[in-house]
Amino acid sequence: MDLTGKTVLITGSSRGIGAAIALAFAQKGANIALNSRHALASAQVAAIQAYGVDCVGIVGDVTQDAAQIIDQVLAHFGHLDVLVNNAGITADKLLIRMQPADFAQTIQTNLVGTFNMIQHSLKPLFKQRSGCIINLASVVALTGNIGQANYAASKAGIIGLTKSVAREAALRQVRCNALAPGMITTAMTQDLSTKVKTQIETEIPLKRFGTPEEVAQAAIFLAENDYMTGQTIAIDGGMTMY
Ligand code: NDP
């Protein structure tokens, strides 16, 4: 897919990996729809527009506003070409202390939110018989993780969802893939103590956390490559090469 002039919607793109993905698509000449639950900063919109592309910020919660988010994208840009389901949360706790609400809220945002966005985007994508969906999973979907039973379950669900969507949507030339980042430096990982970070780094073959920009590079690859569907790509410094 040539991304010039295409419309890319990235959920949860006010910061971190989503913001880096938005910038990377703008650098490729795509028009950008940002999204988060809170108002998007005008400085972020301006930084994207500086690449000579159109950019709008759409406030909405993927757990309940999916239809309105997609409708606003279509009303502004006239079409949708790439949907990046990036909005995600953590609510880490050891299983023995995890409340049902911690489990449900994480599944609701990460997995049900992704489902909501996909379901509401499929009609326009199917109609134009082109487009692609990129879902943010995680390495913990593949490995599991202490304190992240809810998060790992939500992300493992995303991998199964990705493969099922890929099979259904292929009939209409629409593709669906997932990214499984390892430890990436964002707000989501900033609360880890230096001791824990150092410990984690020793266990990563490349001995460092990744950057949001390195995840964004993989998102661009998945969007541009028309023969990729149903795949999950790990961007994890070698954490899952077994
Ligand atoms: P951040 O916490 O930095 O950013 C999360 C973004 O999602 C924010 O823009 C937030 O904005 C938005 N968001 C949260 N809930 C919702 C919602 N219900 N509806 C719409 N937007 C929402 O996360 P990261 O950048 O670190 O992570 C991005 C994705 O990558 C997530 O899916 C995460 O699980 C995944 N990932 C991250 C890894 C890491 O190491 N950082 C590793 C593996 C996967 P607001 O609060 O304003 O809504």
3-class SS string, the chain: CCCCCCEEEECCCCCHHHHHHHHHHHHCCCEEEEEECCCCCHHHHHHHHCCCCCEEEEECCCCCCHHHHHHHHHHHHCCCCEEEECCCCCCCCCHHHCCHHHHHHHHHHHHHHHHHHHHHHHHHHHHHCCCEEEEECCCHHHHCCCCCHHHHHHHHHHHHHHHHHHHHHHHHCCEEEEEEECCECCHHHCCCCHHHHHHHHHHCCCCCCECHHHHHHHHHHHHHCCCCCCCEEEECCCCCCC
Q: pLDDT band for position 238 (50/70/90)?
A: very high
Atom of ligand 1 nearest to the CA of 155: 34
**Structure-block tokens of residue 18:** 């989503």
Among residues 51, 151, 227, 242, the one annotated as catalytic is 151
pLDDT at position 141 is 97
Residue 113 Cβ contacting ligand 1 at under 6 Å = yes
Atom of ligand 1 nearest to the CA of 113: 18
For residue 83, the number of C-alpha atoms closer than 13 Å in the C-beta half-sphere is 32
Averaged pLDDT for residues 132-157: 97
Residue 65 Cβ contacting ligand 1 at under 6 Å = no
Residue 12 Cβ contacting ligand 1 at under 6 Å = yes
pTM of the model: 0.98
Q: Which domains does the chain have, with CATH numbers?
A: 7-235 (3.40.50.720)
- Determine the distance separating the centroid of ligand 1 and the alpha carbon of 152, expressed in angstroms: 14
Instruction: Give the model confidence (pLDDT) of 115-131 as tens digits.
Output: 999 999 999 999 999 99
The proportion of the chain whose per-residue pLDDT surpasses 90, expressed as a percent, equals 96
Averaged pLDDT for residues 182-210: 94
Averaged pLDDT for residues 174-187: 97
Note if 51 is an active site residue: no
Averaged pLDDT for residues 69-95: 98
- Determine the distance separating the centroid of ligand 1 and the alpha carbon of 234, expressed in angstroms: 17
The identity of residue 54, as a single letter, is D
Nearest CA to ligand 1 atom 17: 61
* Whole-complex ipTM: 0.99
Atom of ligand 1 nearest to the CA of 179: 44
Instruction: Give the model confidence (pLDDT) of 11-26 as tens digits.
Output: 999 999 999 999 999 9
When the pLDDT of each residue in the chain is averaged and rounded to a whole number, the result is 97
pLDDT at position 191 is 86
pLDDT at 155 over 90: yes
Residue 17 Cβ contacting ligand 1 at under 6 Å = yes
Q: Select from 70, 83, 89 the residue to mutate for testing ligand 1; criterion: most ligand atoms less than 8 Å from CB.
A: 89
pLDDT at 242 over 80: no
Residue 197 Cβ contacting ligand 1 at under 6 Å = no
Query: What does each C-alpha distance from 227 to 41, 64, 95, 109, 231 come to in angstroms?
Result: 36, 32, 40, 29, 11
pLDDT at position 192 is 87
pLDDT at 87 over 90: yes
